[in-house]
Amino acid sequence: GEYGQEGAEDVLQSAKEEELKKASETSGTAAAGSTSPGATTQASSSDSTAGGKATTTTSTKTASSSTTSTSASSTSSSRAGGARPLGGPDPTPGGALFCLPLFRRPAFPGFYQIVQVSDQEVLDFLFTLRKGGNGDFLAGFMTKEAPSSSLLSDDPSGAGSSASAAAYGNLRRDGGRAASVAELEEVGSMLQVINLTQYPNIAGGQVVVMPHKRIRRTKTVSEPSPNIQLAAVTVEDFPEPEVKEDDAEVTELAKKASDKMKELLETSTQYKEQFEQVIRFYDLEHPVKVADLIAGMSLARREELQEILMEQDLKKRLEKVVDIVSKDLEFAKLQLKMKSEAEDSVVKEQRREMLMQQMKTVMEELGLGEDEKHTSINQFRDALKDKIVPAEAEKVIENELAKLGTLEPTSSEFNVCRTYLEWLTCLPWGIHTPENKDIKRAEEILNEDHYGLEDVKERILEHIAVSFLKNSTQGKIMCLAGPPGVGKTSIGSSIARALDRKFYRFSVGGMHDVAELRGHRRTYVGAMPGKLIQCLKITQSSNPVVLIDEIDKLGRDYRGDPSSAFLEILDPEQNANFRDHYLDVPVDLSNVLFICTANVTDTIPGPLLDRMEVIRIAGYVFEEKVAIANQYLIPQTEEQSGIGKDNMVLHEEALNKIIADYAREAGVRHLRKLLEKINRKVALRMVRKKEGDDGKTEIQLGNLPDFIGQPPHMSDRLYDAGAPPGVVMGLAWTQMGGASLYVEATGHGGAKVRTPNIEVIANESPSDPILDPETEQRPVKKPTKSFGGGMGGSMKITGQLGEVMSESSAISLTYARLFLMELEPDNTYFDETAIHLNVPEGAVPKDGPSAGVTMATSLMSLALNVPVKPDLAMTGELTLSGKVLKVGGIKEKVIAAKREGVTTLLLPRQNEADYSELKDYLKAGLTTHFIDHFDDTYRLAFDQSLVPPINWPSRGLPVVTVETPADVLPPPMMRAKPGDSAGKQEEVVLPPPISSPSSPSVSL
């Protein structure tokens, strides 16, 4: 009779009554904003376990109790249902079974089967049933229509894990979820769940089942829903055909099927392995069992297998079994034949190779060896094996091989043709180096070789992430611009190591000949390909990392312009079909990662610069140099000099002195030279010392000059006690990094120097207004006649300033005159005084627009006879209307300001975004004001108690002030303990910044 028809209805009714009872009890105490009962189910679910199995707080007792109204939670339904759990080899009548849809084949009774389930929600539901003691039996029905693909092509869980994307493509999709019961066949098998297993790293798992008997679906209890992934049905036994002992025809068919199966087992090892695994579950003397065994092992179509499962006539069932086993036997024989032919072919090739080798040896002994021409042709053909050569290149190679076969080895054309073929066949056509997709490992490699350079490292990690998501290698063009010694060239090899790519470097500094890049024409004697083709030959990879060093120092003469040749090489849209003049066939450079280095980008032509992604690298501050010295330079120099790490102790104060007073450049190249010099001195002392003297050499402040001499920078500043009136510290960007730039102004002749008097300024009569009451305009005072023999009002400029800087000084003087007229109409200093403006270190050329604000402030300080505030520096371009414009090199200038011990910075308002991108430890101890007009520069640069106040509102945007605490330090670094041979590491916190190191020379 039917299983569970009456029991399922009782369970549904019981679940509904329990649900209404619980709703009435909790209605008075429900919290505000509570969700529907369906949301309660989700909230009551526990988190996923380590194995990936999601379990609920309360297990579902029966399928019918889990299929109540969607307005109630599945947890409440399972508690309310009183259905009888299924257990044992035969479920008790009155229960309902969940349907497990089978996609590939039906399950035959007694045939042990592993079902791979890729739908994680279905697997979680089976785990939930099994935990509640209700998942021992399932109803297995095959779907009427096969899914679109039997293999997974995406992540069924929706997690989108890229790490497991490759694994999904190798999984079968045996079972899962069906949208409706109507999609399933009516006849299936009762499955006893033996084991459930969750895959460790990907969604889904496998279900081990043992089909017991055929069943027929009688009634649908519930359809699949978002909370309950499997449908629930009631079933009945599907009658098995009766076996008559005197039925000769059935006996003959069963024997014929058994004979076919035995022959199949002898032919195919695959069937033999399956037979040995399941034979203990079958009675080979019983025709029904024999039919089920053969059908379960068969590779027939799913429709044919379903027909055998549903067939009740034993004779017809055996006839269909004989038919499918005959097809399997023919297929197995065909496979065996193909395998045998393949083995015979391999044996024949091996035999031929052996005979050829013997024949070659005999011919060499007799002096009848193969001529050079045929040997070369065979070598070229062998070199092209396993390479994917483009069609055009392959056509050229075949033509050249045919041509080589017609030439005499003694002719000059033979050598030219052979050399050309050598280059064509040695290139890595279609060969790519597998790229590293482990972000963490790449980051460790980059940090292991270089300290800082966060922008470069972040860009490389982004490149790896894009390659990982696209599942393909790609090429890019980057340009690392920065001062010498900051690690631009050395980071190239680290990038190649982090990406697991081959590395090739060549320098183009001073290159004049385009042929070095694009190759020579083959008509020239000694012609050869260019650097890019040589790179592919040496690396034997189509996606190496190519470092083009000193690209800002390209030359140009009558032999061509190499920068123009780079327009094609460094263009992602063109280099996929790069043509070398020598090869004259397209070569794909689109997968090459080009990294260019330059000190400045001003000398790089605009079209070429537009093709590159510029990453600017500024110099290092004091704290970063200490970290680099401890982490890289000191261990490297100790190893290279041979003194080891146990024979020298470099004290911290001595290292700080070296960095502050000896090595002030933006990079660390000079610092490395100084450390190498110290190590050489120590090595000499070790060789000269007497035997038995094993004392370490200690480098302290006292004996530091004995190793590296006196410091080249003796004074910290030009003015230790504060700058006098007319002197202001500016900030400049140089090829060596940032630098301080003092501007001095003085005057002679004409008006007397103003003496600050706060009381006189504060008690001025209100009858002397700043604004004209009639026109509401500030009065413009006409300049008076100059004194001093016609020198009044002129300005002389010294310091080897360029044209741009000279124009900035003229603009500064003009605006300073107008500003002084507005501020003090009676002050005629600029009208009657000859001004001399100087920028120290006249041997160094200087140019650039960023000194306008500094010059105007210096002139105002001179005219008012008031010095600017101490520890103040500024930069910015000034217009005739007083606006402060944006400048470049903010990071370098901030580093220079910290090196000078500056505490207050005045920067253009438009550079606020550039300043905010800097690390906090670079800005530690700085108070930075972002100004938009010279009015704010005047208020912030001078002590307002010593100068006339401005009685009008600022004509620019509001000032933005950013203060950074002085105790912000760089991240801790890792350094090996002294004397620890095992390489254990300890955390070393960098020392705080020094108070006032002095500045290097300026080269704008």
For the annotated catalytic residues, the residue numbers are 850, 893
Distance CA(425)–CA(379), nearest Å, equals 9
**In degrees rounded to 5, what are phi and psi of residue 605?**
-55, 145
Distance CA(838)–CA(835), nearest Å, equals 10
Q: How many Å separate Cα 709 from the centre of its chain?
A: 46
Distance CA(156)–CA(855), nearest Å, equals 68
Question: DSSP string of 44-102?
Answer: HBPPP-TTS---BSS----TTGGGS-TTS-HHHHHHH--PPPP-SSSPPTT--EEEEEE
DSSP 792: T
Q: Are 956 and 938 in contact (CB under 8 A)?
A: no
CB 402: neighbour CB atoms within 10 A? Answer: 10
**Residue 62 to residues 99, 136, 234, 299, 376: CA-CA distances in angstroms?**
13, 11, 12, 36, 78
Q: How many Å separate Cα 135 from the centre of its chain?
A: 45
Distance CA(636)–CA(374), nearest Å, equals 53
Distance CA(552)–CA(606), nearest Å, equals 12
Of 164, 165, 117, 161, the residue nearest 140 (C-alpha):
117
Q: Write out the H or E segment, with its range, that includes residue 745.
A: strand 737-748
Any alpha helices (H) in 427-520, and if so which ranges? 439-449, 454-470, 490-499, 515-518
Q: Are 750 and 834 in contact (CB under 8 A)?
A: yes
CB 416: neighbour CB atoms within 10 A? Answer: 15
3-class secondary-structure state, position 904: strand
Residue type for 473, please?
Answer: T
DSSP 417: H
Any alpha helices (H) in 137-243, and if so which ranges? 165-168
Phi-psi region for residue 775, left (φ > 0), alpha (ψ -120 to 50) or beta? alpha
Of 44, 86, 51, the residue nearest 65 (C-alpha):
86
Q: Are 309 and 149 in contact (CB under 8 A)?
A: no
Distance CA(735)–CA(619), nearest Å, equals 10
Residue type for 989, please?
Answer: V
3-class secondary-structure state, position 715: coil
Q: Are 948 and 864 in contact (CB under 8 A)?
A: yes
Q: Write out the H or E segment, with its range, that includes residue 13.
A: helix 5-26
Distance CA(32)–CA(806), nearest Å, equals 73
Residue type for 405, please?
Answer: G
Distance CA(921)–CA(11), nearest Å, equals 69
Q: Write out the H or E segment, with its range, that includes residue 737.
A: strand 737-748
Distance CA(40)–CA(116), nearest Å, equals 31
Distance CA(938)–CA(815), nearest Å, equals 13
Distance CA(835)–CA(407), nearest Å, equals 84
